[in-house]
Amino acid sequence: MLGYWFMKALSWILCHSPKFLVKLIADGIGFLAWQVTPAWRKRMAIVNIKECLGVETPRAEIIAHASVKRFGRMLTEVLRFPVLDKTFLQEHIEVEGREFLEAAYQQKKGVILCTGHFGNWELLGMSVALMGYPLLSIARKQNNSAMDNFINEYRSLGGQQIVYNRGESSMLTISRVLRDKKMLGVLYDQDTADDSMELEFFGKKTKVPLGAAFFSRLHGAPIVPFFLHNNGEDKFVLRIYPPLYAEKTKDRATDLQKPMKELMLILEHEIIKNPSMWFWLHDRWKDGKRRFRDTESEG
């Protein structure tokens, strides 16, 4: 519980501090994040950036460093959730494509909101909840129960609900949300132990979770891709894409593949436009340990 109360104390400080101090703390956390990142993960991120984006090493190093450093800002933004309200949304977040979200919601089949580990995905969920939409987001349970309680408590401050991505009861809860014509938040850019399919991502094969397409096919719910961009200090752009759908034919594999392939292409597009916003430290292609950590041990 010590970690829980430490985070609560830091949250209180950030909620009552001037902007310059919040930025200073964010920069400090970002600096420390880079320092404690294992060397093999740094090399993996840099090489993956070079391979995916076709940039030279110096540029890849800048992107990798910025990708890690931004977690300082992301953390301070989350810790300031207690003081976020609709006024913050109106003054700091520009929404592009809200008509797509509203049109999908008006179909009354539920909406599956899909994003990646891009920008501040926690603030993205908070923003949708503050917009007045009933949102339940799928999350992975943290190993540390105190920290799990903390992050879920803060996620719920704007009205967002959370369900874990494991267990039969979670599946039933997710289906109930869509039957009740509510919104479901999904992170779709990391592989899970659940049903997945091998697709190309930046020209390399990787496993992609099929949850979004599965529930769209099951319930007829539209899939709406959305992403949150940092646009300067305390300014954000929430970009919403036109909806996708999973058809329901006799060819289940193709039905699931089509929308997931489109989602991966949209994510590629977002990353190319704002490469430092994505979580490059994740071993997305499941070859990082073999290519970088194991060779480090051998050396």
Least confident of 87-101, 117-131, 165-179, 272-286: 165-179
**pLDDT number for residue 41:** 96
CA 107 to chain centre: 25
Average of per-residue pLDDT across 33-40? 96
The pLDDT of residue 297: 52
What is the reported pLDDT for 13? 98
d(CA 230, CA 228): 7
Beta bridge partners, 224, equal: 113
Residue 271 has pLDDT above 80, yes or no: yes
Which pTM value belongs to this model? 0.94
Q: Given 3.10.28, 1.10.3470, 3.40.1130, 1.10.10, which CATH number is that of 2-298?
A: 3.40.1130
pLDDT tens readout for residues 153-188? 999 999 999 999 877 788 899 999 999 999 999 999
Kindly report, residue by residue over 64-115, the tens digit of the pLDDT: 999 999 999 999 999 999 999 999 999 999 999 999 999 999 999 999 999 9
The per-residue pLDDT for 171 is: 86
Neighbouring residues of 291: CB distance < 8 A, sequence distance ≥ 6 = 44, 47
- In whole angstroms, what is the distance from residue 270 CA to residue 4 CA? 34
Distance, CA of 256 to CA of 198 (rounded, Å): 11
Sorted by where each begins, the domain ranges of the chain are 2-298
191 pLDDT exceeds 80?
Answer: no
Q: Is 209 exposed, middle or buried (0-12, 13-18, 19+ CB in 10 A)?
A: buried
CA–CA gap between residue 164 and residue 174 (Å, rounded): 10
Query: Is-contact 224 230, C-beta < 8 A?
Result: no
The CA-atom distances, in angstroms, between 37 and each of 63, 64, 121, 169, 281 are 15, 11, 21, 36, 9
pLDDT band at 296 (very low <50, low <70, confident <90, very high): low
For position 231, what pLDDT does the model report?
81
In this structure, what is the dihedral angle of CA atoms 245, 270, 50, 76, given to the nearest 10 degrees? -120
